[in-house]
Amino acid sequence: MTGFAHLMAGGHMGHVPFEQSVDLPPYRAIMAVDAKDFTAEPGSTQETISGLIPSLVGEVFADAGLGQHWNSPLFFGPSGDGFAIGLPTEILPYVIEPVPALLQARLASHNRSVRQGQARLRLRMSLNVGPLPVDSDRPDRTGNGAARNDTHRLLDSRPVKAMLAAASPHVTFLACILSDRVFQDVVAEGYAGRHPDHFLEVPATVEGKSFAQRAWLLVPEVSGNLLAIGLPQSDAGPSSARAPGTPRGIAGPTVRENSGQVATVNHGGMHQGGPR
């Protein structure tokens, strides 16, 4: 027994990286979701919220005609405040459009219906793609590898957190971040039903982690300080930074987060500063 079959049978335990060749696992799409401010909720409500998130996303997948992939994932791993799911790469265009738009609408409907004192949901979503082994008999214990780790790093990165924090909590309920590989292969090549100009290029970094990647933000429903992007700035000098595609004389905006942090869209990146 050699190659991938050897790995799936547990032979990976004896594999020495960089010294022995093994079969490259098929590429998988990875989607991860988590909730903003989950740990701030009372412990008595966290179990309910934890179950509600995949329930709402599952309904959205069904509405998008992707129910069979949700019900039979390549892998699925809950994370307390969200989950990661493995999907076939061919459905990535539909996970980019219409899933985020449908999820934003579903979250808006849910948040309108919650009673006073109940949790309102605001989610982050990340998308990535890469080679991962899967075991159909154990979807809850497979699909591990660097691509999945990076998907979670994107989800925890500063730009997507800053973008959601800067938006109105009454209007924007979802912020998405795509790996550069997903953007280049799916969005830039025209496979997804969204123009590349719907996305903002950012440097994705995670506090306390040695992680830095080029990534792309998508906010299905822009609101709050995000609406300032591209507005003329009276004090803009010749060296002022601009958002991608912004004409000269138009400075990139400074968006003030609810936490008091400041995030600036600068040369295509979302950069956080200290409290102002």
pLDDT of 124 over the 90 cut? yes
Name the residue range of residue 151's domain.
26-222
Backbone angles phi, psi at 189, to 5 degrees: -85, 0
158 part of a folded domain: yes
Confidence tier at 240 by pLDDT (50, 70, 90): very low
CATH number, domain containing residue 40 = 3.30.70.1230
Beta carbons within 8 Å of 248's beta carbon, 6+ residues apart: 242
pLDDT score, position 23? 93
Tell me, letter by letter, the H, E, C secondary structure of 57-103: HHHHHHHCCCHHHHHCCCEEEECCCEEEEEEEHHHHHHHHCCHHHHH
121-135, 208-222, 224-238: least confident range: 224-238
273 part of a folded domain: no
Domain count, the chain: 1
| Paired strand residues for 263 | 255, 272
pLDDT > 70: what percent of the chain? 72
12-21, 38-47, 111-120, 160-169: least confident range: 38-47
Residue with tokens 């601009």, as numbered in its chain: 242
pLDDT score, position 15? 77
Q: What is the DSSP letter of 197?
A: G
150 part of a folded domain: yes
Structure-block tokens of residue 87? 């999907």
208 part of a folded domain: yes
243 part of a folded domain: no
Confidence tier at 32 by pLDDT (50, 70, 90): very high
pLDDT score, position 1? 42
Confidence tier at 13 by pLDDT (50, 70, 90): low
Give me the half-sphere count of Cα atoms (radius 13 Å) on the Cβ side of residue 116: 0
**Rounded average pLDDT over 66-77:** 97
pLDDT score, position 12? 59
201 part of a folded domain: yes
> Taking Cα atoms as reference points, which of 148, 176, 12, 159 lies closest to residue 85?
148
Q: What is the DSSP letter of 235?
A: T
148 part of a folded domain: yes
pLDDT of 189 over the 90 cut? yes
200 part of a folded domain: yes
pLDDT score, position 125? 98
Residue with tokens 């440097």, as numbered in its chain: 203
